[in-house]
Amino acid sequence: MTDIDTIRETERRFGAYNYHPLPVVLTRGAGCHVWDTSGRRYLDMMSAYSAVSHGHANPRLVAEMTRQAGRLSVVSRAFYSDRLAPFLEKLCGMTGQDMALPMNTGAEAVETGIKAARKWAYEVKGVAADRAEIIVCRGNFHGRTIAAVAMSSETQYRKNFGPLPTGFCLIDYADPAALDQAINEHTAAFIVEPIQGEGGIVVPPDGYLAACAEICRRRNVLLICDEIQTGLGRTGTFLASEHDGVRPDGLMLGKALGGGLYPVSAFLARRDVLGRFAPGDHGSTFGGNPLAAAIAVEALNILSDEKLCDNSAAMGRHLTDGLRAIASPLITDIRGRGLLLGIEIDPRRAAARDVCERLMAHGILTKETHETVVRLAPPLIIDRPTLDWAIARIDAALKSMSAC
């Protein structure tokens, strides 16, 4: 048994199943690349589900993390720290939101948003006690907590985890009329992804989010955008909701907010929404700790200083054009925005998982989603020569599969 086999077998023996990883053991990363235990280099075209937008071991982020870790890391929210207030001010300023509540994981930000929306519904809108409803979309992914899977339409996410919380209404994605029809006197909020990531990189028609925003305003319902995967430059704008000129009433951020080094998330909203929380209503031991705040501020600074949103837009166009030029019978569609793209694979010809394994053999690492889609979401620092190399390797991998 090789060292790689030993590592994988030990993980399988002592670790409960989580994802279904590709058969590679990684040990080092720098920029857009990672290396396995045998020293082979790969181009990371997934960025840990958009968490590593700044690149692996970004020098500025590593330096800031090291400085702060040697000074003060965690004190809990029982005390003030000198790093949290600047983080909150910067994050609210960049998003246009009034208030923010920092958490750790994206799923925690979603849970915070659910609680805030319900509290607003009871205390501001006047919904009857314990009757508040939240509308979500089929095909969504908002996390793995019990509340998040209660919002999901995926059978596997829900099976044998009941009883699940109630108070959620599922409608079709990209259908404003369905939203309008689903709203009733108990509706607190509509939580939606501007682009469905885990759902298969599903991009709604232009104007969809704007239409939803108009409906929510007219019907006195909160529009809450889950931008944990799509935010912070991933789609070529700072927030994906900007493509439709929308400022949501509430916003979830995470993943890239921690610079790929530390779990940092936040729920942001209007003051009349988040301002309803009183001390003790909600909390987190680690959320907003000095180390997290320092890293997140630097992550936001890098996005601005290095114009990563602009690079995402330009490199996304280049990658899209290159992928669409590939003549392969395996491809049925190329879709996405910025550097969040999906290659739809014809299931009659190949499985997306098999394509990912073939890409790995050609030096590219990524993962399938929704069984038929290969996700491509490289770090936002990627350049044109690296993308040209990737496009050529993707072309070669697909050609090798078509020839079989």
How confident is the model over 217-227, as pLDDT tens digits? 999 999 999 99
The C-alpha atoms of residue 14 and residue 126 are separated, in whole angstroms, by 50
DSSP of 101-132: EEESSHHHHHHHHHHHHHHHIIIII-PPTT--
Q: Is 204 exposed, middle or buried (0-12, 13-18, 19+ CB in 10 A)?
A: buried
Catalytic residues: 141, 226, 255
In the predicted model, is pLDDT for residue 2 greater than 90? no
Structure confidence at residue 301 (pLDDT):
98
Degrees (nearest 5) of the Cα angle 379, 381, 383?
110
The model's confidence at residue 175, banded by pLDDT at 50, 70 and 90, is: very high
In the predicted model, is pLDDT for residue 42 greater than 60? yes
Degrees (nearest 5) of the Cα angle 18, 235, 27?
40
Of 161, 172, 270, 171, nearest in space to 223 by CA: 270
Strands 250-253, 222-226: pairing is parallel
CB atoms within 10 A of CB 85: 12
- The residues spanned by each domain of the chain are 3-57+307-402, 72-305
In the predicted model, is pLDDT for residue 234 greater than 80? yes
The model's confidence at residue 402, banded by pLDDT at 50, 70 and 90, is: confident
Which has the higher per-residue pLDDT, 18 or 74? 74
Structure confidence at residue 404 (pLDDT):
61
pLDDT tens digits along 105-126: 999 999 999 999 999 999 999 9
Name the fold adopted by 72-305: Aspartate Aminotransferase; domain 2 (3.40.640)
The C-alpha atoms of residue 234 and residue 30 are separated, in whole angstroms, by 19
Helix, strand, coil fractions of the chain, as percent rounded to 5: 40, 20, 40
CA 194 remoteness from chain centre:
11
pLDDT tens digits along 135-163: 999 999 999 999 999 999 888 889 999 99
DSSP state of 162: P
The C-alpha atoms of residue 375 and residue 368 are separated, in whole angstroms, by 6
The model's confidence at residue 283, banded by pLDDT at 50, 70 and 90, is: very high
- Its pTM stands at 0.96
Which 3 state secondary structure label does DSSP give 378? coil
So what CATH class is 3-57+307-402? Answer: alpha beta
Percent residues over pLDDT 70 in the chain: 99
